[in-house]
Structure 1
Amino acid sequence: MNEGDRHGGNGGRRARQDIGAGNDALKRVDPGERDQVEHGLPKRAAVLHETLRLQGEEELARPIAALAWSAVAAGLTMGFSMLMRALLQARLPEAEWTYLVDSLGYCFGFVVVILARQQLFTENTLTVVLPLMSCPTWAGLGGLLRLWGVVLAGNLVGATLFAAAAHYMHIFDAPTGAAMIRIGEEVMANSAWEMFSKGVMAGWLIATMVWLIPAAEQAKVWIIIGVTYLIGIGGFTHIIVGAVEILYLVFEGRLGLRESVMHFGMPTLLGNIVGGSFVFALVSHAQVRNDRA
């Protein structure tokens, strides 16, 4: 046997060993996912639904204290979405394209919150709703409302702390402060109905992002940036980012607290819930339920 034959024989044995090892690994994969592994297919809607439902059940089982602290951290972090946009806006020239660039800053808080697994209210309009839709009970509804209440309160506490710090600690220069005021005034220029309807779009997009992330794998960050950038340039209203922007105006003495709640807070909150829970979550759940029928 010549040298090439010996190498060919060794290569063939190594190839057979690799195939055998691959088959052994494949046998350890759950049978329901084996086809996806073998054929490299994207995850079906039912797989995504089940992934998010299980995540929702885990969140519903967490202690209140853990939820609350995580929610406060998320509220503080979301303040950086306002800050990054203000910093960019204050340093860019006045031009038609400036808005497209400074809106990239809107993405920053979302990227940090999601990668750090902090509790954000608008994410939970999808994940914790799916367990209730899959098995509707009064106890499940109570658990949902409990989690929503704790997370929303924690997010708003964090948002308030960030807005207060931005105002009272004088950390930022005058152009950045002026940009933060402009951002808040742009939000308040919407009517109550526009706050609601734009809130529906923001809630829908956040739910879409949450739905896509389990299938995104290495592209997760780009999914977050793409979806939240669309919310930013679209001017869609988000209850937590918007709370930081509006509360900064309150601390600046340019807006009353009651007006901020009635004109911005309530319509936007309702819109986010409708977009995330009653539009996207219902449609996604109905799709999976009909697949299984």
Structure 2
Amino acid sequence: MADPQSSPPEIADEEQKVALNPKQEEVVDDRRAASALIVHEVVRRQGIEELERPAASLMWSGITAGIAIGLSLLGKAVMDTAVPDGPWTPLLQALGYSLGFVVVILGRMQLFTESTLSAVLPLATEPTGRNLLRTLRLWAIVLAANLVGTFAFAGFAMLGGLGVEQADELVRVSGAIFDHRGLAGFLAGIPSGILLASVVWTLPSAEGQKITLIVLLTGLIDLGGFAHIVAGSAEMWVLVLHGDMGAMQAATFFVPVLFGNIVGGSILFALLAHAQVRGEIED
């Protein structure tokens, strides 16, 4: 594979039409955005690291991420009760919703919807049976661990860990997932998968602006009324433990949203992101 840092000869010749001294060339290189190939390679190598992690490491990281993502639900509930209602309320709720994602993503914890991009790029680059099995292994471990973590958060919240008023507010805001069942859940899960994949794809180029990027893209999930399988599972467990949602209702939420996130993050974003650099990789 060609060195991604070097330009093809025809591009290099055209770049040299404006003569710059070495210091000016260094400034230009520093300010030039990374190419799509470089971003692809950064995310692909992150995916390889995740695929090679021991199962125990993935499990504990995924459980921690599931607990931490509960902060999104708690942040949304707190924003809803701490500030008087007004036209700003949806924006504040979206800000609160993004808190758990900030902690999880900057903390490099294992979140299932991030792996729908990072773990798929190694498979798309080298589509072998081994890579497929590695991807499915990662997904299975991380998703199960995330669910354990969100259940732990919901159990803590609903079994006395929070005050009665806060617990009631968690139940109220969690009720939004009743709108995300069946086909509606699948369709609402696709944009969330795309948004989380967008976070992973753009973070390597967002030095100094990572928190802003995460807040904007994940806050849009809540503001747009979309569905995220991990944060949504925290809401699902809250409603189940409170007695407002049965097993069948939970399944009609969980399964469609899961596949919607996979379609958005893997089939749409990951494969298209890979397609744009496939020719350069082959060259």
Q: Normalising by structure 1, what TM-score?
A: 0.85
RMSD: 1.7
> Is the Cα–Cα contact under 8 Å of residues 98 and 214 in structure 2 kept in the other structure?
yes
Runs of at least 5 residues in structure 2 that lack an aligned partner in the other structure: 8-24
Task: Say which one has the larger Rg.
Answer: 1
What CA distance in whole angstroms lies between the structure 1 residues aligned with 2:219 and 2:162?
A: 26
The residue correspondences of 1:37-116 to structure 2 (distance < 5 A) are 38-39=28-29, 40-116=31-107
What is the one-letter code of the residue matched to 1:145?
Answer: L
What CA distance in whole angstroms lies between the structure 2 residues aligned with 1:193 and 1:259?
A: 13
Q: Secondary structure at the match of 1:169?
A: helix
Aligned length: 262
- Is residue 2:161 matched to residue 1:189? no
Aligned to 1:248: 238
> Of 267, 275, 283, which residue of structure 2 is paired with 1:286?
275
Aligned to 2:254: 265
> Is the Cα–Cα contact under 8 Å of residues 158 and 242 in structure 2 kept in the other structure?
yes
What is the one-letter code of the residue matched to 2:5?
Answer: E
Q: Secondary structure at the match of 1:119?
A: coil
Offset of 1:202 from its aligned partner? 0.1
Over residues 206-256 of structure 1, what are the superposed CA-to-partner deviations in whole Å (9 max), with x where a residue is unaligned? 001100000111111111111011111011100010000111011001111
Runs of at least 5 residues in structure 1 that lack an aligned partner in the other structure: 1-30
- Is residue 2:191 matched to residue 1:201? yes
Offset of 1:172 from its aligned partner? 2.3
Q: Secondary structure at the match of 1:237?
A: coil
What CA distance in whole angstroms lies between the structure 2 residues aligned with 1:137 and 1:107?
A: 36
Offset of 1:67 from its aligned partner? 0.5
What CA distance in whole angstroms lies between the structure 2 residues aligned with 1:100 and 1:170?
A: 27
Q: Secondary structure at the match of 1:33?
A: coil
The residue correspondences of 1:137-156 to structure 2 (distance < 5 A) are 137-156=128-147
Aligned to 2:225: 235
Aligned to 2:15: none
The residue correspondences of 1:131-170 to structure 2 (distance < 5 A) are 131-170=122-161
- Is residue 2:5 matched to residue 1:33? yes
Aligned to 2:20: none
- Is residue 2:101 matched to residue 1:129? no
Offset of 1:192 from its aligned partner? 1.5
Offset of 1:203 from its aligned partner? 0.2
Q: Secondary structure at the match of 1:217?
A: coil
> Is the Cα–Cα contact under 8 Å of residues 4 and 37 in structure 2 kept in the other structure?
no
